[in-house]
Structure 1
Amino acid sequence: MDSVSHFVSCDWGTTNFRLRLVETATLRIIGEHKTNYGVKECHAAFMAQTALGRQEFYLNYLEGEIERLPKVHGNVPIVTSGMASSNLGLKELPYAELPFGKKGTRLICEKMPLKDGQTLLLVSGIRSKTGMMRGEEVQAMGLEDRLSPYLEGTLLLPGTHSKHISYRNGNFYTLKNFMTGELFEVLMNKSILANSIEFEMLDSDGKNAFLEGFDWGFKNGLTPNLLTIRTRHVVEDMGTKGNYFRLSGLLIGDELSYLRDIGKHVFLAAPKHIFELYKMGLETFVPSDKLILLEDPILERALLIGQRKMLLLHAK
């Protein structure tokens, strides 16, 4: 790692953009910079102009934001994962095919020269017949050392589009996608349920409401229970309290219901704001010795571990 003392981690998602200057050997973060300029907004801005080509437009933004990071000796390489390699991003790279291993040798990458001799390593995503992902495959590689003591299981990466990835002996084999987070936003804001739901903080009542909704979704599925959210408000005159977490529980219960008889380890790695909800649901049916909890700091570091693996794999 001495030859690559530092690198810039770029996580360019659909709605967010994040840079971190990282010490390669220790993964110590020296500086960090975030914006809300995800590839969706960047693509819209690119399409609204004609002066620059796609790569030049995206790289102009990227290079300008890198200038905001602390200066270190030399022009350190940049590793970019996430939606930057999608058809809305900097340059579309084809998806690699499952399975893939902890070293990332099957992932498709491309090196791109930047100004002043700096280089960018763009990492593609992974697809299967049942799903696709860009960015989470790098996180999975970074989490592998946490999974390996258990030999086999399913890794859950919840989010706007949740990913469930099967793991066995250092390799990831199958992928399922669930649009849980996006469905929640649509149902809460655009559906007939909207007037029956309002945002709440998670307290003891919220937890009870979540577990009630989770039970509905887990046992009977999503669609038979959706209108119950509105019925409790309009017909039973119970108000809107609890419906925010009741709907969340319903969706997550439906997402996780296929795992009820899996009999293997379940690894949960999620951002802080949704970690507790998935944990509550999983604890209702997964034995404690089979549920492995990987909290937000572990997930954050996993991205850097995975990006470092890709950097060193393509360093030559």
Structure 2
Amino acid sequence: MHRRRRLFLLVLLVAAVLFAGRLAWSIHPLSSPGTPTVIKVVSGESLSEVADDLAVHHVLSSTLSFKIDLAIFGAPIIRPGIYVVRQNSSHGAIRKALSGGPNANVLYVTPGMTIRQTALQLATIKDSAYTSAFKAVIRDESANNAFGASSLEGLLGTGAYIVGPNETPYLLVQHMKDRFIKQLRRAGVTPSTKLHGLSAYELITAASIIEKEGFYEKNMPQVGRVILNRLARGGGLQMDATILYSLQKDGVKVTPSMLKIDTPYNTYLHPGLTPTPICQVGATAMHSIIDPPAGKWLYFVVVDQSGTEAFAVTYREHLANIELARSRGL
């Protein structure tokens, strides 16, 4: 009987030692903190749910030990927002990060956005000094790219960017440039690519026009073919989006007076592509210039409320499509 009791106590002692060791390791990991990770805390989320999220992202190794830590040292008041914490952090470091409040913001760069619009978006999450510095970096880095271009328009990657406490404007721009090169490679394009008689930079420029003129992904492949067909004829592209870009306008109708404004971006007055891309480019627009469908289309116009564009080979067909659009109040 005494032997069984001693054995039970020994097992209990070993278990306690193992648990204490596990708890100590969880509270103070032996390895250094790892990769910065983004945690989003939403309004009404419980501390237990936050702990589960931290574990999923490998910030915590054990939610149980973290809850014990909170019971001992006190639970912080967590405000909704974006937090950047490192994987494999100590419990103390996690508590400090959470109690300090949100320490990062998210900048969303969507296909079709210009650098000017990106700066405006940045101004909604960062102060004026940061935004001004961002604009200065964009200006200073304009010629520092893999394409020999004089502007970074169209050469910044799309998607979400975490603007944390250590993300300087310079680093943010570098991350945008690096992401674009990666996105371009996924599309099968490098800075030295030549296709359809166009350089890589010209492909990007054409894709940016597709992005604006197609607007919806369903239209983009055929718009890509229209652009190649018009370039092959040697005339003007006659794309409204290029005029609006030069006027820093978006989503408005081009007026007859706008058509007469002589800028390098007026593709009614000047043949060929614009000097630079006119916006940031998404994967669909890029693919639409790389591998557009076969066809002889030269014209297109929006013909319904869902944004569907009708494509035509002859101007007579195009006029019929315009009449259809007008009959539908477009």
Into which bin does the TM-score normalised by the smaller protein fall? under 0.3
Higher strand share: 1
Q: For the pair shown, which has the larger CA radius of gyration, 1 or 2? A: 2
TM-score, normalised by the number of residues in structure 1: 0.28
Higher helix share: 2
